[in-house]
Structure 1
Amino acid sequence: MKKVSIIGVPEHFNLPWHMAIEEGAFAERGIDLTWTDIPEGTGRMCQMLQDEETDLSIILTEGVVKSITEGNPSKIVQEFIATPLQWGIHVGAKSAFKTIDGLLGTKAAISRFGSGSHLMAYVNAQKEGWDINDLKFEIINNLDGAIEALTTGTADYFMWEHFTTKPIVDNGTFRRLGDCPSPWPCFVIAATDTFIEKNPSTLKHILEIINLYTSEFKNIPSIDNTLANRYGQQLTDIQEWLSSTMWSQKQIAKQDIAKVSTTLKELKRIDKIIPFASIVT
């Protein structure tokens, strides 16, 4: 068996991977694919790719493009989610903030620098017409850290996937002031250059299997109930999320990478734009 490690966030987007692993689809091809949840998100996963602590990652597009541009020896091997991510903009339920404009000049909770919550704070600031140089951040590592920061007031707002945080809004811990969708396909599959170079056939098999699962995922009987039960979500929320989410079975488009890179450069998150062929394989 060929041992392969893969990482991703513990969210509903990644259920096809867990199903394929649990049903032995990779093992049938001689691949021992081991999944590890990374609740700290994209910033941590970029570091793990760079340090070769993992072979593959399901990762936010903007985060991995920034990391690769800055020298991370990894590549995007395929688009995974073709639709934007709905980033909910959250505040503590007892805070005085009522509108997104009221967050101007306040402190954003972020999982770490280079994470999606960090980069999307800049995207949101640009959308709102704020001066990006005025942004302030508090590192909170994960969702539990965000709950503590927004409850105690060490940070003022937190951007995280709308449906993942919905139960925390429903139970009165957070209030959501609005959403900021990512302006590009949100998740990609990335691999280290070492893994790509040394294991082309294994990578091909892995992509074939996951693409089969994602292409049929929405047609699985009662998949909405399975997702709701597994991820502690309301059924109506999962149904809304499923209807607006599309999995991909192809490489990300050149124009999407160009949009990510151009936006990151405009927001001063990267110093240069590198060629498409240096980001994808």
Structure 2
Amino acid sequence: MKFMCWNCRGLGNPAKLRELKQLLAANNPDLIFLSETKMSANDFCRVQNKFRMQNGLAVNSEGQSGGLALMWRDGMNFSIQNYSKHHIDSLVKLENNKNIRVTGFYGHANPNLRSSSWDIFRRVGESVREEWIVGGDFNAILNDAEKEDGRRGVRAQMNEFKEVMDELALVDIKPDSGWFTWVNNRSGGGLIKQRIDRFISSGSVAEKFPFISTKVVRQTQSDHDAIILDLWGRKPKDYPNDKRLCFKFDVCWAGDVGAKNVIERAWNRDATDSREKIERVRSALGPWQRKKIWKFEEGHAKA
């Protein structure tokens, strides 16, 4: 499962839609959580139609601010659990029949009102019984290392974020690439950077999904970058088990008596058409090649 979150700062212009299209094409996420769409649910239907993703839920914006949306790919075993102006909570059944709770979250932009979104977050957490992954724009940082330039973070606000995470037994997932997710020009020059978009999870997620990875994807049409979590992102690629796919002919074997015998036996075994004969030769030469290399390496090691 691949989960993407992006504070898009509105989807009302073609440039934003093009960037979203590029994000989807390049990363192929299964779940897409968008915050600050600045759209009504009805208007967001046009976005879904444009990207041919009919599975989704949109939460209305309030005037020219807010607005959430969650879309998911066809074929996912997926159900919405609850939602508000600050979150969309879902339950996903994975291929191994394990359930995982996935929540998109948007913290209140006004620090004086942020406690109300934390209260919503707590109520969602009280209903979670599965492994839990939360992603989105929290509009909060955990420590001063998550901010560059500008005034230091307000200690009380950072502590409040930490307390919520401790209460719900959640841990921060450090990204494999990228760090700051929000960049803004401050008056008088210079940039302020903060890590306010992130993924957090219940502690058991890292144990159950040891290959989990996250990354920050730079964007040009929003002051927020997208973030992507992949449950299997670090899993080593499997080598093909089909021996025919492992075969690569080396010209030095053209004069090898063993290779000639393998080819003759495979080619002359039955009266079939040439395509089938070639495929049968491939099937026979694959194991022969592997055995040849193994014997060579064994003899080299003994020497």
Superposition TM-score, scaled by structure 1 size: 0.25
Q: Which has the larger radius of gyration?
A: 2
Higher RCO (CA-CA < 8 Å; seq separation 6+) = 1
